[in-house]
């Protein structure tokens, strides 16, 4: 699925989003000539700050192979359109409808790995820790896995926070005991499993309301670190 770089209509900054269209050469040349657009409104800046903060925790979570495989499995389960899963679903593996699809039942992974790792690393975070209402804080923040059909359940991934609008973003290759920065664009995501921390996930059409909207267990309160973020500039060719 083709990556493009957009700002969604609800004012949430996205770094990458899927499109079924195949670009012509002239279209690609036009895309690569675009400049970076940073968050401008207070709402955009608040969202980007939350994405940045959660991404810092996810850098630790994604060092765990089982957590990575669980993220990919739930995305491949197909509850949401456009190869996504909300973080709140990954924190509710017992009750989230995203875990109840027929496609997911065919995949092998350890359910609850993400929740365990997220709780451990969010609790360990310090530096002006503040406790927030987790449901309100997470909102619709989601993980997007472009070209997921090209990969098996990955043990190691590249994590990319969607902090601005551009045709290329800052990614972090997450290994078990280390990480390093890389540039992420459409070609990179096609060749390497890449998780993009972004906003928004639309549920696929569903004809069974009882299955689509079951009662959910509350997400436990989590201690999340407040981090100061600047605006990192990515390389645009």
End-to-end CA distance of the chain: 22
User: What pLDDT shows up at residue 220?
Assistant: 52
| pLDDT at 27 > cutoff 70 | no
Q: What sign does the dihedral 7-32-163-44 (CA atoms) show?
A: negative
* The pLDDT of residue 123: 78
pLDDT of residue 30: 42
Distance CA 32, CA 14 (A): 17
pLDDT above 80 (res 8) = no
Mean pLDDT, all residues of the chain: 77
pLDDT for 38 equals 93
What is the per-residue pLDDT for 91? 94
pTM over cut 0.85: no
**Contacts of residue 88, Cβ cutoff 8 Å, sequence gap at least 6:** 96, 134, 135, 138, 219
d(CA 116, CA 97): 19
Q: What is the pLDDT of residue 135?
A: 65
CA distances 153 to 87, 174, 190, Å, are 18, 15, 15
pLDDT 10s digits, 68-101: 999 999 999 999 989 999 999 999 999 999 999 9
pLDDT above 60: residue 18:
no
Query: Helices 113-124 & 65-76, crossing angle to 10 degrees?
Result: 130
Task: Encode pLDDT of 171-217 as tens digits.
Answer: 999 999 999 999 999 999 999 999 999 998 888 876 555 445 544 45
Residue 39 has pLDDT above 80, yes or no: yes
Residue 25's pLDDT is 35
């Amino acid at each position: 699925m083709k990556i493009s770089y957009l700002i969604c209509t609800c004012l949430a900054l996205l770094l990458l989003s899927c499109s079924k269209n195949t670009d012509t050469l002239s279209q690609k040349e036009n895309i690569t000539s675009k400049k970076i657009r940073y968050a401008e409104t207070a709402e955009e800046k608040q969202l980007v700050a939350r994405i940045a903060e959660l991404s810092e925790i996810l850098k630790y979570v994604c060092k765990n192979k089982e957590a990575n495989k669980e993220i990919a499995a739930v995305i491949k389960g197909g509850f949401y359109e456009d190869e996504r899963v909300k973080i709140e679903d990954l924190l509710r593996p017992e009750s989230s409808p995203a875990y109840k699809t027929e496609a997911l039942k065919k995949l092998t992974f350890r359910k609850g790995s993400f929740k365990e790792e997220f709780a451990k690393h969010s609790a360990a975070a310090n530096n002006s820790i503040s406790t927030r209402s987790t449901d309100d804080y997470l909102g619709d923040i989601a993980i997007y896995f472009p070209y997921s059909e090209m990969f098996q359940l990955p043990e190691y991934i590249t994590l990319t926070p969607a902090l601005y609008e551009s045709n290329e973003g800052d990614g972090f290759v997450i290994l078990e005991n280390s990480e390093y920065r890389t540039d992420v664009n459409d070609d990179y995501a096609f060749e390497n499993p890449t998780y993009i921390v972004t906003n928004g996930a639309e549920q696929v059409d569903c004809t069974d309301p009882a299955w689509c909207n079951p009662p959910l267990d509350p997400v436990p309160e989590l201690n999340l670190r407040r981090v100061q973020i600047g605006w990192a500039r990515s390389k645009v060719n």
